[in-house]
Amino acid sequence: MQTQTPFIHNHQLNVIRKQADFLLKALRTVADRKVLETVRYTSVVNALEAFGELTEEQRELLERLGTYEAAHEIQDYLNALDAYLIPFPDIAPKRIQKLFSKVKKLKAPDLPTLDLHHTTYLRWVDPAVHRLFIVYPRAGDFVGIEGQITATNRKGYCAFCNRHQDLGFFNVKLKGSSPDNLSSVGQYVCMDDEACNHSITDPAALEKFLRSAGK
């Protein structure tokens, strides 16, 4: 087999997984062939919508989602898509230090242990000081924000991934005063770094939050 050219971002894989779940549920519960055909069609359309321009082979690969009958076939298919994932860009520990140069005794993430293929945004918590750090790639470089994370001890919808998860309130202090005269911006987000990256299907809300935090 020839080497695949990666073309799937983590959040797009999450879209495909979501559509695969939707199809799987229908395969288990729906007997009507016509209804199943519609579900197959819809799941493929929804998956394709997460992408811009595609080559014929790429489109064909994504359309294959709609052809399976059994759960293990769908699982094998999803696993095979990992070969097409665009990983989170390489980042040197020094670059991370520089992004958070004002933080004393920065607790940096242990990069080699992270699954950077299934990462839309790099995030980690320093539990000693209850601070959440976020690094996001932009235009060949990175932006970083950090702020207080406070467990709410309840579930709700994460502002970044929109899944029902254990939430924390993330509060980022702003430098000087923003145009709206805010001294900080905050959002309810996942407490679990990995869960959020495994759920996020669109980075737009995260990007908007970064902008609101001046990044």
Interface positions with Zn ion (CB under 5 A): 158, 160-161, 190, 196
Q: How far is the CB of 202 from Zn ion (least distance, A)?
A: 12
Minimum CB–partner distance for residue 77 and Zn ion (Å): 25
Q: How far is the CB of 151 from Zn ion (least distance, A)?
A: 14
Least distance in angstroms from the C-beta of 24 to Zn ion: 22
Task: Check: CB of residue 201 under 8 Å from CB of residue 46.
Answer: no
Residue 12 near residue 50, CB atoms below 8 Å: yes
Give the shortest CB-124-to-Zn ion separation in angstroms: 14
**How far is 43 from 22, CA to CA, in rounded Å?**
7
- The least CB distance from residue 129 to Zn ion, in Å, is 21
**Nearer to Zn ion among residue 84 and residue 188 (C-beta):** 188
- In order, the DSSP letters of 15-26 are HHHHHHHHHHHH
Structure tokens at 60: 């064909």
Q: Which residues contact 61 (CB under 8 A, 6 or more apart)?
A: 81, 84
CA atoms of 124 and 180, how far apart (whole Å): 29
Which residues are paired to 135 by β-bridges? 122, 144
Nearest CB to Zn ion, comparing residues 47 and 134: 134
CA–CA dist 175, 188 (Å, integer) = 21
Question: What gap in Å lies between CA 154 and CA 165, rounded to an integer?
Answer: 8
